[in-house]
Amino acid sequence: MKISLIREAHERIRRTIRETPIETSSSLNSLVGAELFFKCENLQRGGSFKIRGAMNAVLSLSDKEMRGGVCTHSSGNHAQALAIAAAQRQVPATVVMPNNAPLSKQKATADRGAKIVLCGPTLEEREAACARVQQESNAVLIHSSSDPRIIAGQGTIALEMLQAAGDLDAIVVPVGGGGLASGVCIASQAAKVYGVEPEMADDAFRSLQTGERLGPRPPLTVADGLRTALSERTFSILQEGLETIFLVSEEEILAAMRLLWERLKLIVEPSGAVAFAGILRHKEVFAGKRVGIVLSGGNVDLTGETLGQLFR
């Protein structure tokens, strides 16, 4: 995929998304020993970067293609984003969500007017349920990470980061299905791109190590947005474009999230803190560098029970 596709995507979506701010923190710079630029996609429409890809996909389709509406399967943020994009285009959206997706994400998706179909939490169950929906409704499937229009949309984050922060030595992103990481690899120009993945969802790490695309581990990590696996397309883009993938533990994800809440006063969901967790674990790699970090989303169940678990 070429960077020109990402520039075209940016032209297509820029009036319907927010150019999110970049935050900095002298205390976090000191802690890491690097100059950090946090791209606040938690402040994006729908609470995550996913609107970029979803809007690009929906705005790319012809009226005829859209007749049956759109469908997808998603643990939450892509679901909500596709619902927003479909509503803007005034076509129906159906979303298959695993029954362990955060309630706030299920509710937000329904509030945007999408029809929700719940299924079991494994990738197989999600794909099977989505195939049924597609057959019944004749909707266009907009896959959350392997669709090239999605990848191009997510890559627009890197364009904005490089424009606003100037040259960067590195951009660090979380890796779930690899749509974000792929788009950023294509758009990153001179910046090296590092992926970070939870140890408990390390399919991309193992796939890149072995050179063979592996399926996901059981979807158990607290980083609910990263419970998916690479597709053939994102696997191949990441093999070529990614510097490396770092792994982080559940404790490291929660500690990074807590630091971001404390110092930036920003609500970042567990998946959104994964990239920063990777930097905290590998400070030596980033010492003295100018580093862009994607805070990918901010959708957290704000209940005492969930918060009590996240901030034990």
Q: Burial-class residue 188 by CB neighbours within 10 Å (0-12, 13-18, 19+).
A: buried
Contacts (CB under 8 A) with its own copies, residues 134-173:
none
258 belongs to the binding site for its own copies (CB under 8 A)? yes
159/56 Cα distance (integer angstroms): 15
Task: Please name the residues in contact with 208: beta carbons below 8 A apart, sequence gap of 6 or more.
Answer: 238, 239, 242, 244, 245
Q: Which residues contact 192 (CB under 8 A, 6 or more apart)?
A: 169, 170, 171, 243
Note whether 308 binds its own copies by CB under 8 A: yes
Give the separation between CA 299 and CA 310, rounded to whole angstroms: 13
Determine the 3-state secondary structure of 109 from DSSP. Answer: helix
Q: Which amino acid is at 134?
A: Q
State which of positions 44-63 bind its own copies (CB under 8 A): 47
21 is a site residue for its own copies (CB under 8 A): yes
Number of residues that bind its own copies (CB under 8 A): 25
Span near its own copies by CB under 8 A; candidates 30-38, 128-136, 193-201, 298-306: 298-306
Place of tokens 């349920």: 129
Instruction: Decide if residue 267 touches its own copies (CB under 8 A).
Output: yes
Q: Is 109 in the site for its own copies (CB under 8 A)?
A: no
Q: Is 304 in the site for its own copies (CB under 8 A)?
A: yes
Determine the interface stretch with its own copies among 77-85, 153-161, 220-228, 260-268 (rule: CB under 8 A).
260-268
Task: Name the segment binding its own copies (CB under 8 A); options: 8-16, 50-58, 258-266, 281-289.
Answer: 258-266
Say which residue the tokens 């996901």 belong to.
216
Q: Residue 212 or 305: which CB sits closer to its own copies? A: 305
66 belongs to the binding site for its own copies (CB under 8 A): no
Tell me if 15 contacts its own copies by CB under 8 A. no
Instruction: Answer yes or no whether residue 266 interacts with its own copies by CB under 8 A.
Output: yes
Task: Verify binding: residue 190, its own copies, rule CB under 8 A.
Answer: no
Per DSSP, the three-state class of 234 is helix
Taking the complex as a whole, the smallest distance from the CB of residue 61 to its own copies amounts, in Å, to 25
Rounded Cα gap, residues 77 and 60, in angstroms: 20
C-alpha neighbours within 13 Å on the C-beta side of residue 195: 35
User: Applying CB under 8 A, which residues contact its own copies?
Assistant: 21, 23, 42-43, 47, 104, 258, 261-262, 264-268, 298, 302-305, 307-312
